[in-house]
Chains A and B, each alone.
Chain A
Amino acid sequence: MINEFLKSRIEDAKTLVQELNETYEYVSILGNYVKTKKALITTVSSSIDELDNECGFVIKVYKDGHYSEYSCDDIRGLHAENVIDAITISTPFATSIPCLKENKHVESFAREDASSLRDEEIYQRLNAIKEYAHAKDPKVIQVGCVFMKRETSKIFVSTNKCLDQKYDWCNAMMQVVVRDGDNIKMNFTGEGEVDSQLVLDKIDADKDEVIDIALKLLNARPIEAGTYDIICDPAVAGLIAHEAFGHGVEMDMFVKERAKAVQYVGKRVASDVVNMYDGAASCVSAASYFFDDDGVEAGKTNIIKNGILQTGISDCLSAMELGTAPTGNGRRESYKRKVYTRMTNTFFDAGNDSVEDMIKSIKHGYYLCQSNNGMEDPKNWQIQCTAGYGIEIVDGKLTDHIVAPVVISGSVVDLLNSISMVSKDVHIFGMGMCGKGHKEWVFVSDGGPYLKGKAKLS
């Protein structure tokens, strides 16, 4: 069930929409209530916080060729004239944006965590992982374990719509810092699930690998820059999907003529074996809501089909300006920020190959693991993705030689066209955050199968 406070404001929202409709051609109100429980256990400190990260509303109106918005903490007692006074400006600049049109839609949605763990249980489980890591090797100098449960409630009220939704998402993360003299290295992992018990089970199962890799990274060297055959693990594959043709097909960029992709719809942008999706309804993960911040139902968009670019993803306004259907990708960082076209769960689809065959097929290259960060370039299709580490492959076999970190850069199209093998299993990582440019952070997931390709590494 949605948060009681939001529920109590639905009638207020309907009244305010009606009042504002006397002045504006379009009016909508989005109400957000986001509650986060965060337990943090590190080697030197610990805390359990329960924060209502968001509790507020954004009122969106349209008149005279442009939109205005008013973000506030409550709408009870707020009258149309208060909003009008605040947002009315006399602009010397041109305004000619079209007005949103909406169909009738009234519905409630919910997806909730089935487990309800007590604070003590969460603390003990995280603390046990921390103690285990320190006991395992004296080179482990710092361990950080985090559990986060985010409960999101939203209402969307406009002339034609009255929607509400509640969805939960849990994350658990583990970070290990190891030190050998002046040599300090760090490794981490994270898991995401609707169920809090399950996410803690998963992070517990990951702990040995996280520690072992951190210790191996003490012997890592920088990679010799060059172009290599690569195998990307699902995390790195997800990062590539996100940076390459996630940001590249956000259709508010089409409206601004900032995306090269607009010229390539229906054309080849990747090899035949590449298929890619985005959508809040494409899987259950970190960005799986029921309706977006424009009040549009969640979708599943097939972005690349057999190497051919099919379509982009869009918020409501961008879709209207482009004459396409909105895909349910209109998202705000919070009620205090504007809506943009944003990715949700973005991933490459499965293929028919095995990881073993991929490794065997490489004479000299690198097996790249762990997504770190990336940056898009929708205009010029350059890409930068950083993998946490790479393992050298020589004569079809993995070696003990580790390089870290590894930066993949170059042309998006060259990289995607070089993909020659795709594994059968898809893993989605529901623990990411994504910015638009350098701000507007929203929760996203990404992932995919293992991919074999060729890339410039440094």
Chain B
Amino acid sequence: MMNTEEIVQVLKNHSDLSDYEYTKVTKNASELFFVKKKMELNRVVNTDTVSIVVYKDVDDKRGSSMIAVTSADDADSLNSKITAAVKKAETALNPYYPLASNQTSLIKESANKESLNAIALKAAEAIDEANQSSESWLNATEIFVYVTRTEFLNSNDVHHVDTKLSVEFETIPTSSHNNEEFESYKYYRNNTFDKASIEQDIRDILHLVKQRSIARTIDTVNITKDTPVYMYGEMANLIVGNIMENTSYASHVTQSNHYDIDKPVSNTKFDMILKGQIEGAANARTFDNHGVVLKETEIIHDGINTNLFGDIQYGHYLNAKEITGSYPVAEIKAKNTVDALQPHLIIDHFSAPQLESASGYFGGEVRLARYFDGEKYIPLTGFSITGNIYEALQDVEFSSENTTTQKYQGPKYFIFKNLNIA
């Protein structure tokens, strides 16, 4: 495939374009696939994905068109693609917006010296060591270890490189009760190989799937609308993502925002700070898709929406003073927290957690929950829980226990009341 210098030279030779952005993602991966404890397949991936956005200005308008450079391309075919892209950009014009400029160059190359095959095998051994429960087992496990190197540059001389290691696995824990098998699902992602956290997560999910196998129906316990509902994991990520969506430049340009500057998001006092980097948050990155370096931005202070954030196009349309860039992760600082001493319901596993941003509908069918009756946890299954996120957030409470997920760092549990349980 053409290298970065060759591609950039072809772009520079094109006087018909106004600006360009270039992104190259190099992925090297080692993957292992198991059925129970038997290895079925190992895979190695060595690929480059190169995309270019060509910009063309016509009067006070700006059009853009994206193309890909593949191993099938040489300088001649790339020239033809760029010429065609300029024509497409001229066809679909938008109000002008500038590209990123004057950004401090961030260059982070891989510090990983170990072979990816070796890390994948270590992850497999860590999973195997923790997979020793007498009551539950792992049915199928898929391990993905990869290094992703992302190089960005644009026609304003912005140039960044970010390189990340990612250790992921997906596994299906299974348990049986009364001759019937029950299963659950676990997705793990970390930006380092952390044997202890892998083993802990495996032990936790093996315990939870056993709980599912002995779970009762919800009518066997005394749950009312006032019972606090604790949500975490995937649903907590969706909730954080929804708050971010409603405080984005894009939602304000499209008038689909539920939140406004200086207006409350919640009656509960908490802060939300958007960041590029949070240790252990797998979505973390140092710059956004337009090459804007990500500094910190507080978007919620004491429950009030204080700032907007987002990409350079929509930020420019809103005349934002300092365009923040699009953030991947957030930190939540709760001002008051709750310890789980009173009866409450923890939702461990939705069938498919849903959150519809426009209407605020959220919830889904629950495959495993645990009701704490004041003394002990009782596993429950086979019911649904729904509500409106914009109403539910008004009186949200947070747990004192903290977590770091792919999306945020902060309280592990979002605690709601008055949801519909059926």
Contact = CB atoms under 8 A, between A and B. Distances in A.
A24 interface: no
B35 A255 contact: yes
Interface in A75-125: 86-87, 89, 91-97, 119-120, 123
B354 A46 contact: no
Interface stretch (B88-96, B277-285, B331-339, B400-408): B88-96
B221 interface: no
A379 B386 CA distance: 24
Contact of A33 (B44, B72, B94, B125): B72
Nearest to B387: A222
Nearest to A85: B44
Contact of B92 (A47, A380, A405): A47
Interface stretch (B10-18, B156-164, B222-230, B356-364): B356-364
Interface string B262-290: 00000000000000000000000000000
A364 interface: no
Given A46-B94, A67-B41, A93 B124 contact: yes
Interface in A16-59: 33, 39, 41-53, 55-56
Nearest to B313: A45
Nearest to A182: B258
B64 interface: yes
Interface in B30-73: 30-31, 33-48, 51, 63-68, 70-72
Interface stretch (B194-202, B249-257, B295-303, B369-377): B249-257
Contact of A438 (B45, B72, B187, B356): B187
A375 interface: yes
Contacts of A46: 63, 92-94
Given A93-B34, A222-B420, A55 B358 contact: no
B121 interface: yes
B94 A45 contact: yes
Interface in A342-385: 373-375, 377, 379-380, 382, 384
B183 A379 contact: yes
B256 A142 contact: yes
A123 B92 contact: yes
A50 B317 CA distance: 26
B254 A43 contact: yes
A308 B420 CA distance: 37
B38 A407 contact: no
Interface residues of B, number: 80
Contact of A87 (B42, B256, B354): B42
Contacts of A384: 351-352, 364-365
Interface in B122-175: 124-125, 128, 139-140, 170, 172, 174
A377 B183 CA distance: 9
Contacts, number: 229
B2 to A, nearest CB: 11
Contacts of B66: 47, 49-51
Contacts of B42: 66-69, 87, 89, 91
A336 B47 contact: yes
B414 interface: no
Contacts of A257: 139, 181
Contacts of B44: 68-71, 86-87
Nearest to B31: A338
Interface string A380-415: 101010100000000000000000110101000000
Interface in B208-258: 253-256, 258
Contact of B170 (A89, A377, A382, A437): A437
B280 to A, nearest CB: 20
A74 B1 contact: yes
Given A93-B39, A336-B47, A382 B172 contact: no
Nearest to B353: A375
B351 A375 contact: yes
Interface of A: 3, 5, 33, 39, 41-53, 55-56, 66-74, 86-87, 89, 91-97, 119-120, 123, 141-142, 177, 179, 182, 184-186, 222, 225-226, 255-258, 336, 338, 373-375, 377, 379-380, 382, 384, 386, 404-405, 407, 409, 437-439, 458
6 contacts: A49-B88, A179-B256, A225-B386, A377-B351, A379-B181, A407-B384
Interface of B: 1, 27, 30-31, 33-48, 51, 63-68, 70-72, 81, 84-85, 87-89, 91-94, 117, 121, 124-125, 128, 139-140, 170, 172, 174, 180-183, 185, 187, 253-256, 258, 313-314, 317, 351-352, 354, 356, 358-359, 361, 363-365, 367, 382, 384, 386, 420, 422
Given A53-B68, A68-B43, 15 more contacts: A47-B63, A49-B66, A51-B67, A52-B67, A55-B70, A94-B37, A119-B87, A119-B91, A177-B254, A185-B358, A256-B35, A256-B139, A258-B174, A380-B180, A405-B359
